[in-house]
Structure 1
Amino acid sequence: MARAWVRDGLQGASRISFPLHSIRSKERKMRNGILIKLLLPVAALLCGVQPGWAEDILIGHVSGYTGPVSKDANDLHLGAKIFFDNVNEKGGYEGRKFRIVTADDKYNPAETLRLVGAMIGKASALLPTTGSAGLLSVIKSGILDRASLPIVGAVPSPISSRVLQRNIFHFRAGDRDQITALTRQLVTVGYRDICIVMSENPFGLQAGDLAEKALAGHGAKADCKPIFKIAPSTDFSGVIAALKSHPQQAIIVFAPPKAVVETVVAIRQAGVRSPVYTLSYTDHQMLIDALGQRNAAGIGIVQVMPNLNKTILPLIRSFQDDYEKFGGTTQPPTYFNLEGYVSARLIYEAIRKSKDASAEGVRRGLEQMQNIDLGGFLLSFSPDNHTGSRFVDLSVITSSGRLIY
C-alpha cells in the first residue's frame, strides 16, 4: 500500500525530479517518528514514569522510613516538601518543578549504600540522611568520590563523618560542637558526677567518648557509662543497674531519638530522678507524649536550629506560613520539619547560584554560598568547608510543654 501510494503520488507530480529511494527513506522516517510518538506514553507507563516528569528536578531522600528513625525521616520529608510545594506553586525553577523521590533504607547501612548508589545520575541532590552507620557506609564505600550527588544534611553528624567529603554538606552543628556546649554548661552549673548512657552504634559510642573527654577537660568525671543494644524490645536492665549503683548529678543519653525516649521512660519508671540531657536529634514532643508534661519537664535538649517560636526571624516566619499552607496536618511543626525545609531551601538557592539544576550544579552552587543569611540563620560554605553552621543553644522543656532557650 505504501509503495502504491508513493507511485501514485509521483504520477501526479511529474515535474518533481528526485530518486525513489529518497522518498522511501523519508517515508520510513515519517512512519518511525509517528510510531515512536505513539509508543512513548506506553513505555513511560510501563516504566512507572508519567509524561512530563522527565523535566522535573528530582530530589532524593534515602532514609529510614520504617524502623527506629521513621518519625525523623517523615518529618524531614514533610519539611522539604512544603518548601518545594511553595516554589512549585510559583512556577518552580525556570518552569521546572521539584519532585522528591523517597527510598526507605529501613535503617540498614547496606540498604543506605545501595539506594544512594541508585540515586546517582538521577537525582540532583539528596535530603538529609538518618542514621550514622548508613552515612558512614556511604563514605567508606567511596561511591560519592567518583560522582556528583550532594547530600545536603546528615542526622546525626558523628565526628567521623565531618572530615571534608566532596559531596556531603552539613548545615547543622556536629556532635562535637553540641557535646562541647552541653558539657560546658553542666560543669558551669556545678555538676561533676555525670552518667553517660549510650546506644551501641557508631553515633552513641563516638558521642559517649567525646563527652567523657570533654568532661575530663573540665575536671568532671563519668564513672557510669552503661551501653545498651537497640532492639524491638530493648533491655534497659543494665542501664538501670548502673544508674542505681553510681550516684550521679545528671544523665546524658546518646542514642537515636526513639531510643532516647525509651531510655528516659525506663529511667523514670525505675525511680531515677536525676536531670536528663540529650542532643538535638530528639523531638521534645515525643518525650512529652511518652512521659507526660510533668515528667518531661526539666529535660534538657541541645538545639542546632533557630527557635521555632521565634517568628520575628524571617526564616521561621516563612517556614510557619508554608507549614500551615502546605503541611496538611494539625500536628505542630518539629525541628526535623525545619531541617528538611532548610535542606530544600539550600538546594534551591544552590541551583539559583550556579544556574544549573544538575547534581554537579547543586554541588558547585553550595560551595559558592559563603556568608549567607537564610533569615536569622547564618551559614557559610566553600570548597574547603562543607560545615555551614556551628550554631548551638540549650533548651529545656517547661511544665507547660514548651521549650525555653
Structure 2
Amino acid sequence: MSKTLSLTIFALLASLVAPAAAQDIKVGTIFPLSGGAGPDGQTVTNAVKLVVGQLNEKGGLLGRKITVISKDDESTPAVGVSRANEMISEKVDLVIEGWNSPVTLAMQPILARAGIMDITAVSKSDLILSGETNPNAVRINSSNGFDAGVIAKYVVEKLKAKKVAFLTQNDVYGNGFQAAVEAEFKKMNFSGEVTMTEKFAFKDTDFRVQLTNLKSANPDAIIVTNSSNSSGLPAMVEQYRQADIKSTFVGAVGIMLTTVFKVAGDANNGIVSADIFFPDLPPFTSMPSSTAFVAAYTKAYGVAPDKSAALGAAAVQVWAKAVEATKSLDRKTVAAAIRGQAIKDTVFGDVQFLPNGQMQPRYVVFKVIDGKNAKLEAIE
C-alpha cells in the first residue's frame, strides 16, 4: 500500500470518529408578515430575533448557537398549517407563533404530533390552552377569559353602564371574547342589558353599516374586538369618530397597539382599554429586565417596543430559561419546566405560569388622552 493511500485512509477513518460539530438550535416564528396584521407580526418577529441575538452573544444555549427561521401565515389557517409543516421539514426545535387564534388552533395539532415545542405569543382564544390540540401548550399573552373579567369590571363598576353593545370580530377570538364578557356580566349580576351585537370579518375595513346601527341603539358602552391593528382597527376608529357616536369605545385588551395610534392618531382620544405591558409606565419603568429590553429594541429598530414586541421577547426568554434549567430541548421536559412554574427576570419581570401553561397577566386599565403621540392615562 502506498504512503499516500495510507494517509488518505487514515484521514477518512479519523473523520468518521471525530465528534460532529454541534448544529445550531433552530427557532421558528410563524406570524402574519403581510396584510392587515403584517406590521404587528413583523414587530413580534423582530423582538424574537433581538433576544436570540442577545443569547448568541452570550454563547447561545447548551453550547450551541441559535438561528431564527421566520414564515408568514398571512392570517389564514390553511397557510398556517402549511407553514407549520415547513417548520417540521426544517427540523426546528421551537416554534413561536400566533397572532390570530384560528391560525394558532389550526397549527397546534400539527406541531404537537411532530413533537415540536410550541409557544403561543399573542393569540388569545381560551381553546388554545384546552389541552385537546396541544397538551403541552404555553402562552405568553393574556387569554380571553382573563381579559373579559377586566373589561366587564370597568364597564359595570367604573363606567356604570346600563346599556351595552358589542362590535365583534366574527371568529373564534372575537366571539370567544364576547361570550366571556357576557359570562362575567352574569357572575357580577349585571343589572343592565346587552342591546345589540354587530359583527364583521377580520379583513373588513368598512364598518359604516354596523356603526350606524350602533349609533341608533345609543348604548353607554360599545365593547370592541378587532385584531387587524394596522388596517381594520384604525379604519374602525376613524369611522367611529366620523359617525359622531357618543357611546364610550371600550377596546378589548391588547388591541390598542402602536400601529393603531400611528394610523388613526387623535381619533383614538377617549378610547378605554387595558393591557399588560407599557414601555413607559410603572411598574415596567422600574424593572431592569424591561428597561434593558426597551433600550435594546429602540436602538435596534428606531422605535420603542409595544406589547406585541414584549410578548415575542418573553417567549424566547421563558423558553431559554427552561432549556438552561433542564439542559434539554425535549418538548415535554421544557414545557414541564414552564407550566405551573415561576420564571424570573423576563421582560414582564418575575412571572408565574398556571398549570395549563397560561402566563398570569397583570393589567393596567387606561384611557387614550393623546392618540397622535400614543399618550395614555392609567385609570386604575
How far apart are the structure 1 equivalents of 2:206 and 2:294? 39
| Structure 1 unaligned spans of 5+ | 1-5, 10-22, 37-51
TM (norm. structure 1) is: 0.80
Shift of 1:27: 8.1
Instruction: Please say if 1:331 is aligned against 2:303.
Output: yes
Query: Which stretch has the larger CA shift, 110-119 or 142-151?
Result: 142-151
Matched, 1:183 2:152: yes
Within the alignment, does 1:301 sit opposite 2:273 as a pair? yes
8 A contact 2:323–2:329 mirrored in 1:
yes
Q: Report the counterpart of residue 157 of structure 1 in structure 2.
A: 124
Residue 280 of structure 1: how far off its partner (Å): 3.1
Contact 1:265–1:290 (8 Å) recurs in 2:
no
Give the match's secondary structure for 1:72.
helix
Residue of structure 1 aligned with 2:173, choices 184, 203, 207? 203
Deviation at 1:322, TM superposition (A): 2.1
Of the candidates 63, 68, 76, which is equivalent to residue 108 of structure 1? 76
The one-letter code matched in structure 1 to 2:208 is S
- Say if 1:284 and 1:115 are closer, same or farther in 2 by CA, change over 3 A: closer
Aligned partner of residue 30 in structure 2, secondary structure: strand
Q: 1:306 to 1:235 in 2, by over 3 A?
A: closer
Residue 196 of structure 1 and its aligned partner are, at CA, apart by 0.6
* Cα gap change, 1:392 to 1:103, in 2 (>3 Å): same
Task: Kindly provide the amino acid, as one letter, of the partner of residue 291 in structure 2.
Answer: R
Q: Distance in 1 between matches of 2:97 and 2:201?
A: 24
From the CA coordinates, give the structure whose radius of gyration is larger: 1
Corresponding residue for 1:260?
A: 233
Distance 1:98 1:300 in 2: 40
Superposition deviation, residue 380 in structure 1: 2.9
Mapped contact 1:396–1:404 kept (Cα < 8 A): yes
**Residue pairs, 1:75-224, within 5 angstroms:** 75-120=43-88, 122-139=91-108, 142-164=109-131, 165-189=134-158, 190-216=160-186, 217-224=189-196
Deviation at 1:352, TM superposition (A): 0.6
The code of the aligned residue for 1:262 comes to A
- Residue 28 of structure 1: how far off its partner (Å): 8.2
Please state if 1:287 is matched with 2:257. no
- Among 370, 389, 392, which residue is 2:341 paired with? 370
Q: Work out whether 1:344 is the aligned partner of 2:311.
A: no
Deviation per residue, 1:211-244 (Å, 9 max, x gap): 233334422322111111233x633232122112
Residue number in structure 2 paired with 1:41: none
Give the Cα–Cα distance (whole angstroms) in 2 for the partners of residues 275 and 335 of structure 1.
23
Distance 1:359 1:101, change over 3 A: farther
TM-score, normalization by structure 2: 0.85
Greater shift in the superposed pair: 87-96 or 123-132:
87-96
Q: Say if 1:63 and 1:104, in contact at 8 Å, map to a contact too.
A: yes
CA distance in 1, matches of 2:12, 2:78: 44
Structure 1 SS opposite 2:106: helix
Q: Structure 1 residue 201: deviation in Å?
A: 1.7
User: Shift of the alpha carbon at 1:103?
Assistant: 1.1
Of 339, 363, 369, 1:392 maps to 363
Amino acid across the alignment from 1:169: V
* Structure-2 residue corresponding to 1:18: none
Give the superposition deviation at 1:392: 2.5
1:302 partner letter = A
CA distance in 1, matches of 2:29, 2:112: 19
Q: What is the distance in 1 between the residues matched to 2:178 and 2:210?
A: 14
Alignment-derived partner of residue 31 in structure 2: 63
Structure 1 residues 308 and 82 mapped into 2: Cα distance closer, same or farther (>3 Å)?
A: farther
The whole-number CA distance in structure 2 between the counterparts of 1:324 and 1:222 is 43
Q: For residue 151 of structure 1, what is the amino acid of its counterpart?
A: D
Tell me the SS of whatever aligns to 2:367. Answer: strand
Tell me the residue number matched to 2:286: 312
User: AA paired with 2:119?
Assistant: V
Q: Is the 8 A contact 1:304 1:391 kept in 2?
A: yes
Q: Secondary structure of the equivalent of 1:394?
A: strand
Q: Which amino acid aligns with 2:365?
A: L
Q: Name the SS for the 2:166 alignment partner.
A: strand
| Partner SS for 1:311 | helix
Report the AA paired with residue 346 of structure 1. Answer: V
- 1:361 shift after superposition: 4.8
